[in-house]
């Protein structure tokens, strides 16, 4: 390898997604979930990308944004409520400063939180007043990030009737094009869910590339691969590298020095502790020490860069060519779940090129020649077991059956003929919201399972209510649909006739 040749290529892919939460509760799940992720992940990650764009950097990372998340970040109600939430955060930091006076570490934490809240308010008021779409469009237009889209409400596609699957995917791509002026050429398939033959639907919808988990490619993720007989390309997550940061059992965010996500000072609504130890009770955890966390972060940036370089060298020796490493994560990991995550992200993206690694997007990896031969993919996901068990297992068997029945009723829906019917459009929206993959995930993982079951049931009932009014020819159908749209109105362009 000459001095000018890169060690290989690295792609960071971030998947930004939350289900539709507006008007459906606040704490501990519901809107609070949205506002925490917005403040602690979406604001700092987009700020990082903007600073990279200002420096003239291009193709830094691949950013997936699901249509249902984009809809919330553009929604007038959510914008107003988030602005109020940021103001409340600032007030809570001032209250913490008064309560924690006399404790050096906690007083410093309160001051840091105040600065963070104030900075977030200024950023939001200055750049986000008209929603997320103008912010994201500027990043995509600058070329600093490649955009990935997805189906409308993030359904688990392998369990969908092909007609519903196509409708949701085409609607999602259209939604992104309407918001940003760009129709994504790639998607992050919800939960990386795949069933053999789905590539044909992707090709028909204009999707050129998508993500799968590493085991789908039997661990050979060193190049992108065309799928089946199509020219649609899949990229596999390199789990050896990806899991250094976050795996089902370990990863950097669990280090004792980092800020603990789960421990709250409920009197001020802030997180004052560091992880300390996996089995330490919240009351016994040590106070958060930013200096200690910063030292640890520096070590973890170096460890990750060393891991990527070592992996690329190993792959080059094995395959006789420069290879590709794709690491992919939920955007919400950086800042929301892992307080230090945005700083780690910036450190890694700056350090990798200095270590001789080409950092680019999925599109850039193809342009660099990282394309292998065709592959037949198995039924798969990025969930437990890398199969479908999280979304169609025994724990959610009733939900799977209810969704299958709902799809049949959806496809039988009277959709309005020659003229759009807003009642039919809203019924379709409610059905799609009921089929969000998040609900089954939350039940299987026993994470706010009651909330997830309630959400799936509520949207199914709303669909059936409007559908019954439509079948009866009732003039009340439109009035009821309008009332529901005030709560569940993420996609004004959804046209039931397209089913």
> Strand 233-236 vs strand 224-227: parallel, antiparallel, or unpaired?
antiparallel
141-179 tens-digit pLDDT: 999 999 999 999 999 999 999 999 999 999 999 999 999
Active site residues: 191, 330
Q: What is the pLDDT of residue 415?
A: 81
The residues that bridge with 334 in the sheet, in sequence order, are 338
Answer whether 479's CB lies under 8 Å from 486's CB: no
- Answer left, alpha or beta for residue 221, where phi above 0 means left and psi between -120 and 50 means alpha: alpha
Query: What integer best gives the mean pLDDT of the chain?
Result: 96
Third-level CATH fold of 393-498: immunoglobulin/albumin-binding domain-like (1.20.1430)
| 268: its two tokens | 């001020």
Summarize the confidence of residues 110-130 as an average pLDDT. 97
Answer whether 261's CB lies under 8 Å from 252's CB: no
Mapping DSSP onto H, E and C, the string for the chain reads CCCCCCCCEEEEEEEECCCCCCCCCCCCCCHHHHHHHHHHHHHHHHHHHHHHHHCCCCCCEEEEECHHHHHHHHCHHHHHHHHHHHHHHHHHHHHHHHHCCCCHHHHHHHHHHHHHHHHHHHHHHHHCCCCHHHHHHHHHHHCCEEEEECCCCCECHHHCCHHHHHHHHHHHHHHHHHHHCCCCCEECCHHHCECCCHHHHHHHHCCCEEEECHHHHCCCCCCEEEECCCCCEEEECCHHHHHHHCCCCCCHHHCCCCECCCCCECCCCECCEECCCCCCCHHHCCECCHHHHHHHHHHHHHHHHHHHHHHHHHHHHHHCCCCEEEEEEEHHHECCCECCHHHHHHHHHHHHHHCCCEEECHHHHHHCCCEEEEECCCCECCCHHHCCHHHHCHHHHHHHHHHHHHHHHHHCCCCCCCCCCHHHHHHHHHHHHHCEHHHHHHHHCCCCHHHHHHHHHHHHHHHHHHHHHHHCCCCHHHHHHHHHHCCCCCCCCCCHHHC
User: What does pTM read for this prediction?
Assistant: 0.96
- Give the contacts of 496 (CB within 8 A, at least 6 positions apart): 413, 415, 416, 420, 421, 424, 425, 427, 428
What is the CATH number that goes with domain 9-375? 3.20.110.10
Q: What is the pLDDT of residue 494?
A: 97
| 68: its two tokens | 């249902």
Q: Which position has the token pair 């109020």?
A: 84
Q: How confident is the model at residue 2 (pLDDT cuts 50, 70, 90)?
A: very low
| Cβ count within 10 A of residue 456 | 25
pLDDT higher than threshold 80 for residue 83: yes
Q: Which residue has the higher pLDDT, 406 or 28?
A: 406
277-321 tens-digit pLDDT: 989 999 999 999 999 999 999 999 999 999 999 999 999 999 999
Summarize the confidence of residues 375-383 as an average pLDDT. 97
- Give the contacts of 349 (CB within 8 A, at least 6 positions apart): 12, 52, 60, 61, 359
Domain boundaries, the chain: 9-375, 393-498
pLDDT higher than threshold 70 for residue 416: no
Percent of the chain exceeding pLDDT 70 equals: 99
């Amino acid at each position: 390898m000459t001095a000018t040749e890169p060690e290989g290529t690295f792609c960071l892919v971030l998947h930004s997604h939350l289900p539709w939460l507006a008007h459906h509760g606040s704490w501990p799940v519901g809107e609070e979930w949205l506002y925490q992720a917005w403040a602690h992940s979406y604001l700092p990650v987009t700020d990082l990308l903007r600073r990279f764009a200002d420096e003239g950097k291009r193709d830094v990372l691949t950013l997936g944004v699901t249509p249902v998340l984009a809809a919330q970040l553009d929604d007038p109600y959510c914008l107003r409520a988030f602005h109020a939430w940021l103001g409340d955060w600032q007030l809570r930091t001032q209250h913490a400063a008064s309560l924690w006076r006399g404790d050096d570490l906690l007083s410093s934490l309160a001051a840091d939180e105040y600065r963070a809240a104030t900075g977030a308010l200024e950023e939001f008021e200055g750049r986000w007043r008209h929603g997320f779409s103008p912010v994201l469009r500027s990043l995509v237009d600058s070329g600093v990030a490649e955009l990935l889209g997805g189906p409308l409400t993030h359904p688990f596609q392998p369990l969908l009737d092909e007609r519903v699957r196509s409708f949701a995917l085409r609607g999602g791509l259209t939604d992104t094009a309407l918001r940003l002026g760009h129709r994504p050429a790639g998607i992050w398939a919800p939960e990386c869910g795949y069933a053999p033959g789905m590539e044909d639907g992707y090709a028909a919808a204009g999707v050129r590339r998508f993500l799968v988990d590493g085991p789908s490619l039997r661990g050979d993720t060193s190049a992108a691969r065309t799928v089946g007989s199509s020219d649609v390309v899949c990229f596999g997550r390199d789990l050896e590298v990806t899991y250094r940061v976050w795996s089902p059992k370990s990863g950097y965010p669990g280090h004792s020095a980092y800020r603990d996500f789960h421990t709250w000072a409920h009197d001020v609504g802030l997180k004052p502790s560091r992880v300390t130890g996996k089995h330490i009770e919240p009351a016994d955890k040590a106070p958060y020490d930013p200096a200690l966390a910063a030292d640890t972060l520096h070590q973890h940036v170096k460890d990750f860069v060393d891991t990527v370089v070592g992996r690329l060298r190993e792959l080059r020796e094995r395959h006789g060519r420069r290879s590709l490493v794709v690491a992919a994560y939920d955007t919400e990991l950086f800042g929301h779940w892992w307080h230090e995550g945005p700083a780690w992200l910036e450190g890694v993206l700056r350090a990798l090129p200095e270590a001789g690694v080409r950092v680019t997007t999925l599109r850039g990896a193809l342009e660099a020649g990282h394309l292998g031969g065709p592959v037949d993919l198995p039924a798969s996901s990025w969930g437990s077991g890398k199969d479908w068990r999280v979304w169609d297992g025994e724990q959610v068997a009733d939900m799977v059956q209810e969704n299958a029945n709902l799809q049949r009723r959806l496809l039988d829906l009277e959709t309005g003929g020659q003229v759009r019917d807003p009642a039919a459009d809203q019924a379709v929206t409610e059905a799609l919201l009921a089929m969000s993959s998040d609900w089954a995930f939350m039940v299987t993982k026993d994470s706010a399972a009651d909330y997830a079951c309630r959400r799936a049931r509520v949207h199914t009932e709303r669909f059936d209510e409007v559908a019954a009014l439509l079948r009866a020819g009732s003039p009340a159908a439109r009035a009821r649909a309008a009332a529901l749209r005030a709560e569940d109105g993420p996609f004004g362009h959804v046209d039931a006739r397209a089913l």
